[in-house]
Amino acid sequence: MANTKSACKRIEIAERNRLRNKAYKSTVKTILKKTLLSINDLTIENLVSVRNLISLSYSKIDKAIQKGVIHANNGNSKKSFLSKFFKDKEINLKSK
């Protein structure tokens, strides 16, 4: 238990930040899962909606990086993975 008033405040702030960071991480994971599922079910009809979802996931990842929730390299890795996955599926779709 904290002995000083400032230490008590720091405990409260740390808990608040932990919950905020947890929410950002959860949002990023959820949007990544939704995006990967939509890319797997890629058709010509839903190509625009998948691109919009990828754009949304990029912005959520960038926001998490900006807030310091995830490291920049981690976020860039996630974006790169999404991009490669989408490109592969798009090439397969157009070659059919």
The CATH code belonging to domain 5-95 is 1.20.58.110
Q: Return the closest-CA partner of residue 39 out of 77, 93, 96.
A: 93
Q: Tens digit of pLDDT for each residue in 11-70?
A: 999 999 999 999 999 999 999 999 999 999 999 899 999 999 999 999 999 999 999 999
- As a whole number, mean pLDDT of residues 7-14 equals 95
pTM recorded for the entire structure? 0.88
Domain chopping of the chain, boundaries:
5-95
Q: Return the closest-CA partner of residue 67 out of 32, 4, 5, 23.
A: 23
